[in-house]
Structure 1
Amino acid sequence: MFKKIAIALLAVLFLHTTVYAAPPAMPIEIYINQKKIESDVAPIIYNGRTLVPIRVISEHLGAAVHWDDRERTVRVASGEKLIILKINDTRAFVNQKPVTLDVPAMIVKNRTMVPLRFLGEYLGAKVSWDDVKRRVDVTKFSAQILDFSYSMVNEAPAVVIKGNVPLEYSVVQPDAGNLVVVDINAELKTQKNILNVYDGYVDKVIAGTLGTDSPASRFVIEAKDGVSFDILRMEQNSLAIVFSNALTSIEVEGGENLIARLKTVAPAKYRYFTIGTPEKGDYRLVVDIFGTRLSASAPQIPENNYVKAVRMSQFAVNPDTVRVVFDLKGDAHFQVFQNGGAISVNFSPIQALDDIRVNSESDKTVVKLELTGDVGYEARENRASRQLELIIPGVAPGEGLPGGGRINVGDGIVENIEILKTSEEDHIQTVVTFNLTLFTGYKIVSPPVSSTIEIEIYRSPLKNRIIVLDPGHGGSDPGAVHSGVSEKNLNLDIALRLKKLLEENGAKVLMTRESDIYVNLYTRAGIANEVGADLFVSIHNNASSNAATSGTMTLYYPTPEKKAFAQTVHKAVVETLGLPNLGLVERPNLVVIRETRMPSALVEVAFMTNKHDLALLQTEGFRQKVAEGVFKGIYNYLSGQ
């Protein structure tokens, strides 16, 4: 009875109660570059992640898809990128590197579904989710090249190309052997199209647009003969074309001595040692050249008393080492030394340093080292200690040298000369150390192998130094303009005054402009690189929205050498002018100090927007003081002060 009543009451309640059911969820929509993408299988949400049909999405992002039914894996290929996913496995592979997924790929209604964010971002797209609209937006960026520069990558010189997305490239085989040609599937959006480098590896880098249906760019690099390269992918969507040193040739010259010159693209670190014994007939000299690849062929060996044969090989890779082996005829005497881009091996009778003669002149000290025969040698500088060293391997000091190993000079250029016999890895050598009053300029007059080593040490550290001065702005670019005064004119006047001071003290000075003309920033840096300048100084004046701002600052590119030069120049200018010291400012993106391959600095002399500073800048006396301050900084840097 009670059961029937309860059922009846429930029926009445059901008939008189409104039932509210949750509305069905809106379907998930996918838009790629603002265009809705239709698919026969709708996206799904699984564990908070959006899964989408892989073929539909990949092909809209320009990728190819391959399904392996036996392995139950799907491969997605786009350019150089290969993505491999396995059904129900949270581990994927991108270019063979494992990547852990939040959710695995899975089969839904006979379609392979994959995590959208993972797939989109690895294919170079940005993925965002709109929770209100239940909509996924995928933005596939068109590839662009934003900048390119020449810098060091893994301690090797490289052209670094920066894009807005990962860049796809191909290497083109050029007609000329010294060209490196790389095509990139991206639009060239840089402010420049040429870099003038002129170092031991590269002369120029030229970028241009290819006339193809899709945006593409070509980089042509004028490399030195024998230079090899690798292309590396870096962070932040960059490619690096990294250049390697190479042993390009071995030249052997006969006579009383046998001289082998191992020529490399750029100076290389090396070591040498012997193995075997003369008695057993297996005596060999081994020279290992580090950071170098082999591109030389075996040399012809003339008749001689020292060497039977010369062999070479790529002894190691990553890091690269070339090994050169000299098979010796008995107990041969030899010297190994470096001169520029050549490591020389001089086989000769045993020689000795016989005499040292010093001649002090008004502007220089001339030193002649007399030896018993032709020898090779190396020069090394130590600015901090104000020393110049000549290292003569395989040679001992003669007994008749004056001064018992020390020659006092005291002429205001050279304090004294020390002669020391040393032993390094069982090889003797003589080290001649010139202790200088100041570290000044010098010139070695004698050839690399000679029986007389003649060196001129100058009183002025500026003698024969090449210095490039860069008066900022010019022509159509006036720089800062205040109260009718243009910065470009002040900069040029100061630079011309500085040029006169430097030339009067023996320097060779080049100007990026000597009149009111416009010069491209990259051209300015290229001038200094092409002539192999020792120093580069850019002269500027400043401006500020705050008229009270006054003082001097110096800008530098962040390398130890460039910072040290900027510090020395800045200190001298501040001491000379007496304006507020605004310090050094690191500026990694300034072209003229970034692209120059030598120590460089950009001096911001004073503020044209400050009434006091501008009044000073308009006087010849102050502009002369600016030139004298920069001159003092250059002088101090070159003299090791």
Structure 2
Amino acid sequence: MKLRAKLPAIFLILIVFILTMPAYAFGAEAAKPAIKLFMNEKQLVVSEVAPTIVNGNTIVPVRIIAEEIGAKVGWDGATRKVTIAKGDMNLQLTIDSTTAIIKGKKQTMEVAPVIMNGNTMLPLRFVGEQLGIEFNWDAITSSVHMFKKDDSASVPVTATPDGEGDDKNEGTPPAVVPDQPAPGQSTSGQTATNQPPTTGTKPSVQASLITSIELTDKELIVKSKDGTLQPAVMKLSNPTRIVFDFPNMALDDSFQKMLVKNAGEMPSKHPLVQKVRFSNYSDSPATVRVILDLKDGGADYRVQPVKTPNQWNAVIEERRLTVVIDAGHGDQDPGALSITGRHEKDFTLSTAKKVQQLLSQDKRINVLMTRSDDTFIPLDDRVAFANNQQADLFLSIHGNSAKATISGTETYYYRPESLDFAKVVHKYVTAATGFPDRKVRVADYRVINKTTMPAVLVEVGYLSNANDEAAMYKDDFQSQVAASLVAAIKEYLNLK
């Protein structure tokens, strides 16, 4: 009787255990960190199948190859072949086959293309390196950092609200990433992979030895026995840190003894830095990685010239907020023509310079201009400039044109994270102009769509309207508008 009484309870426990097994398995799978993709330090949004590691190689949806790397992708359903072309490079890949054809020659890949949930998944590193892309893998954040020198993936945008000309959205030549990195931008001149680098092994015999890593209360000082110290630098978040990768370098014996599982650390004397970490990050090529884990609020670095041989110094200082001011149009792109024959490009440049002058008086702000003279800057180059500088805000200044009866101030945004900034800008500018309030609006302008920070485009007034135009070319009016934009920026950044 007792056994019979227990049987239903035993069966119930077994059923519950069986039913919950998939949940446990799913939970274990979900615990694996998602792989994040970055192109020139801009994080990519992958809305299809998530990037996946297969045999140590990251495979990604074909869209990443087509849109972000800028290649043309073709598909032959009968043969299940993918053709990838960019410039004079031509690759042919076959689903489930590790044999690739590059310019007519066969080459074996480590992993084959596959189809997952209806999406074609391609080996990212193999394809990218054939097309001139370089890679870094950050194991701490499970991130693939890609770098390209030539972005040919620009797509023209044609949205033109309120009958305005499409001069702000025209297709333009692609941005070119400079060979020398700007502060906060990673260089791409090192060999890297999208898989975790080999570490903990004997460094290459060609490597020079780093003999000293010191963080004082002001600066980071790195010394080597010989060789050139010229690191690639990345600023990463979650947690906030600055990463310095010194190529062709290895740690000397004094640091090797401090390593535990190829990672060492030392306390920080700097008020903005929690601790210093270091490792032999890679042995092909030999690379020493130095990481500054930052405290709340973050920090910036500024490379210092040194006369001592085989030494590299960088001041670690409070992070300055970077604001990019974009004077619309320029040179052969004059913008709208006013009713008295004046050009929009002249109004935007004059007003932008006044904003720069006022904003630069606040030492907490680093003010950058996309153009400071009558120069033509392609739209994608303006975007790349702001993104590469990792700016905190982007503000584009324009004058509008439509029917002669239309008057007023409009402020445009595109991405949801830019809405609050747009509201603050519009509040101040409409009060400064005294023109009719034509509201905050959404538009797919390239400079506010492709930038990665809160970005706003303000149409101060209508050059096609007699009242607006008469005011817009007056120096006092421009100064008043500039002061309002500065006030808006400071309010949004909470700078009192």
TM range (shorter): 0.3 to 0.5
Q: TM-score, normalised by structure 2?
A: 0.48
Higher RCO (Cα < 8 Å, 6 or more apart): 2
More helix by share: 2
Q: TM-score, normalised by structure 1?
A: 0.39
Larger Rg: 1
